[in-house]
Amino acid sequence: MYEYEYSDPGAFAALGIGYIIVMLLIAAFIVACYWKLFTKAGQPGWAALIPIYNLYVLLTIVGRPAWWIILFLIPCVNIVVAILVYLDLARVFGKSTGFGVGLILLGIIFLPILAFGDAEYVG
């Protein structure tokens, strides 16, 4: 007949827990990057921890109006708005449009470079 081979469910649980831990570490790293960016721009760093308020502070830093928060809530439009905000974020820290494209495509690499590097907020 058929022979079934059962896997250990504990291994799958450990894999899931490991995945959750890695994702939490990445999220904490990104929050630390935004905290540093906010303090570089003269805004409170703790604002990186508050979900909607961090968008407001980010929009303030890049010089966009506060009502753009609503645009972040609209599917597909939020992608275009995020691209524009990241391009503006590179610009206000004195970086080129190419660096902004790097923020968009490889944010996990370019965001720490912007946050912990020598970039200064020029407004």
Read off the pLDDT band of 4 (50, 70, 90): low
The rounded distance, in Å, linking the Cα atoms of 122 and 104 is 20
Of 43, 47, 45, 34, the closest CA to residue 108 belongs to 34
Q: What is the mean pLDDT of residues 12-19?
A: 88
Contacts of 72 (CB under 8 A, 6+ apart): 55, 78, 81, 82
pTM, full prediction? 0.85
Residue 53 CB coordination number (10 Å): 14
Per-residue pLDDT tens digits for 35-94: 999 999 999 999 999 999 999 999 999 999 999 999 999 999 999 999 999 999 999 999
Residue 52 CA: distances (Å) to CA of 59, 107, 114: 11, 20, 22
Residue 16 CB coordination number (10 Å): 10
Q: What was the pLDDT predicted at 1? A: 62
- pLDDT greater than 70 at residue 123: yes
- pLDDT greater than 80 at residue 98: yes
Q: Show me where the domains of the chain are located.
A: 9-116
103/6: higher pLDDT: 103
Instruction: Please give the mean pLDDT across all residues of the chain.
Output: 92
Helix axes 107-116 and 97-105, enclosed angle (nearest 10): 130
